[in-house]
Amino acid sequence: MTAATATFAGGCFWCTEAVFQRLRGVEKVVPGYTGGAKPHPSYEEVCSGATGHAEAVQVTFDPDVISFDQLLDVFFELHDPTTLNRQDADVGTQYRSAVFYADASQKEAVERKIAEVNASGMYRDPVVTEVAPLGEFYVAESYHHDFYNQNESYPYCAIVISPKVRKLYKRFGELTRGPDAR
């Protein structure tokens, strides 16, 4: 088995991490920052919007179990890819929708998926997801790792993340490890 990596930004990385952690074939999900200019940014710096970085996750997965296209299906359905620099109450460039591709095949797959989503009528507005080459990925501070699993009763988790996780099981149950697995 050769592991592959995909990098997604879909709003708060706590949300994105929680969703991808529950998929079969996903070996690791790491929250971090990418897409900006400042080396080694802190959470506070990224939150200011001044670094250009997005809150993102790097997903290490087994392509023999789950494909990059299946990861894209989950990504495009479990956040709003039509709002520029915003997800729910989280506003700013750090919360933009983006896929940072590792190679030409990932870029082509993302562009194809965006065209498919736009043509499907899934959303009223067109997809504004940024498609950019992966630059340096900076791992987030340790307190951001596995945040939802450790803080499910935290108000943000209960109000914003739990509904995304429930939607994942309802819509993509066959791709998940099941509600009790993490």
Active site residues: 12
Per the DSSP assignment, residues forming a β-bridge with 9 are 98
Could you give the CA distance from residue 162 to residue 165 in angstroms, rounded to a whole number? Answer: 5
Identify the helix (H) or strand (E) that includes residue 74.
Answer: helix 68-77
3-class secondary structure, 25: coil
For 41, 90, 116, the CA distances from 135, given in Å and listed in that order, are 14, 24, 26
